[in-house]
Amino acid sequence: MNRTDLRHELEHARSSDVEGAPIAQIRERRLLNIAPRILLIGLAILFAAASFSGYYTKWQFRDVAPESGLNKMLDGTAMRPYAYRRLVVDTVNAIDQVAPHAVKLFASRVLHRQDGGPRLAFPSFVEGDSSKILRYELVYFITYSSAIALILLGYKLARSEGFEPIAAGAGAASFMLIFPVMQSFGGYFYDYIELAFFCLFLLLARRAWWPAMLVVTVLATWSKESFFFFAVTAYPLLRERKSPPMSAAITAGCVILAGLTYEVARIRFGANAGDTAEYHLVDQLYYFLSGIFLVKWEITYGVPLPHPFSIPWIIAITALVALGWRWVTPAMRQQIAIAAALNVPLFLLFCAPGEARNLSMLFPGLLVLMAAAFQAAALRSSAYQPQR
């Protein structure tokens, strides 16, 4: 029911002889419209908190890794290619520069309990350095906010496929819980915002809002250079509303803009140690040919769980694709296929062995397939319910 209908019913209620009854019905309908949204946001916050906790207890901000830790990134001395991933870091540095002393003092109070112990698990050198406390707290809460944005955008992406709210919500929530498992051998604060931008970009492509796509392209590439390749995967979704030449032009424009954004970061940190990319093809071949990944496990959520390339997950992902593939739209199937064609070779060439999170271009499709599986299961279950 839209606002005009509600207004008409309210006017009818005021002129009705049965005073109060129509108004009560309107209030009930309004509550039925609002309550699911409140519940959705509340559940998104809880599932995002669980996922973020799984990531943070597993990896924190990687300050033990001198080449990629948050401390080095804040100072601009991280090794390439980690030094290029600047959106969150540049944002918190800019806030820190303009924040008054009272704000920084408040941040220090937030970090420490009354007994002097820390509320947040930051490295000891942060707890005693007032110049870093505010920035670490900002990164902490921006990362958590990104997790909330990811689950909401993932839900909207699944809903854009035509799935029911329950199936879309279950798919997004399940993906959030699985995501810390995918952060094998490494997890970073920019992982959540990377995927949030991916989902947002696909939603905008599905609506053909190309000016917003260009804005997202700059921000997403500023966050991580992988977006340069991911932008190509939006083409099938653009084709739902635009002609092939127009879709190709928009996609090409996003790719060019991503390349220019990346080039700015590359020039800016060209003097840092490291290289533009790390080559790992030989390492990857040795790792996968050894077969050790099939039985590996890793501590996630505080308990040993199978590695994402292990036998249980291979079976689960295969079953998921088999069940959900025919339920997604042709455009989304093409998007997943393009993402696989780009991401798998890049993963084998440039990513460390076993780091499943580097298959991130496939993750929006994985989320949608999860929702599709829930949708299929729900429909099959209802089909076999006995008639009463």
The pLDDT tens digits for 164-194 are 999 999 999 999 999 999 999 889 999 999 9
For residue 14 the two structure tokens come to: 């005021």
Q: What is the DSSP string of 189-218?
A: THHHHHHHHHHHHHHHHHHT-HHHHHHHHH
The least confident of 160-169, 190-199, 260-269, 271-280 is: 271-280
Answer whether residue 234 is part of any domain: yes
* Residue 222 near residue 255 (C-beta atoms within 8 A): no
Model confidence, pTM: 0.88
Cα diameter, the chain: 82
Answer whether residue 219 is part of any domain: yes
As to burial, measured by CB atoms within 10 angstroms (0-12 exposed, 13-18 middle, 19+ buried), residue 212 is: middle
CA dist 237 and 53 (Å) reads 33
Q: How many domains does the structure of the chain reveal?
A: 1
3-class secondary-structure state, position 118: strand
Provide the residue range defining the domain that includes 342. Answer: 16-378
CA dist 188 and 60 (Å) reads 8
Q: What is the DSSP string of 59-81?
A: HTT-TTSTTT-HHHHHHT-PPBT
pLDDT band at 19 (very low <50, low <70, confident <90, very high): very low
Answer whether residue 1 is part of any domain: no
Answer whether residue 11 is part of any domain: no
For residue 158 the two structure tokens come to: 């699944």
Nearest partner of 199 among 321, 305, 335, judged by Cα: 335
3-class secondary-structure state, position 48: helix
* Residue 60 near residue 124 (C-beta atoms within 8 A): no
Residue 387 in this model has a pLDDT that exceeds 50: no
Please give the pLDDT value at position 3. 46
CA 29 to chain centre: 33
Which residues are CB-contacts of 95 (< 8 A; sequence separation ≥ 6)? 134, 135, 138
Q: What is the mean pLDDT of residues 12-20?
A: 47
Whether omega before 165 lies within 30 degrees of 0, making that bond cis, reads no
For residue 331 the two structure tokens come to: 């455009």
CA dist 288 and 309 (Å) reads 9
Answer whether residue 42 is part of any domain: yes
Answer whether residue 386 is part of any domain: no
For residue 237 the two structure tokens come to: 């979704």
Please give the pLDDT value at position 152. 95
3-class secondary-structure state, position 297: strand
Answer whether residue 54 is part of any domain: yes
Please give the pLDDT value at position 229. 97
CA dist 90 and 218 (Å) reads 14
Write the single-letter amino acid at 117: G
Q: What is the mean pLDDT of residues 149-158?
A: 96
Answer whether residue 347 is part of any domain: yes
The least confident of 44-58, 76-90, 112-126, 251-265 is: 112-126
Instruction: Please list, residue by residue across 164-194, b when 16 or more beta carbons sit within 10 angstroms of its beta carbon and e when fewer do.
Output: eeebbbbbbbbbbebbbbbbbbbbbbbbbbb
Q: What is the mean pLDDT of the chain?
A: 88
For residue 294 the two structure tokens come to: 């099939």
- β-partners of residue 305 are 298
Q: What is the mean pLDDT of residues 292-321?
A: 90
Residues in the chain: 388
Q: What is the mean pLDDT of residues 257-269?
A: 96
Helix (H) or strand (E) holding 299: strand 297-300
Please give the pLDDT value at position 10. 42
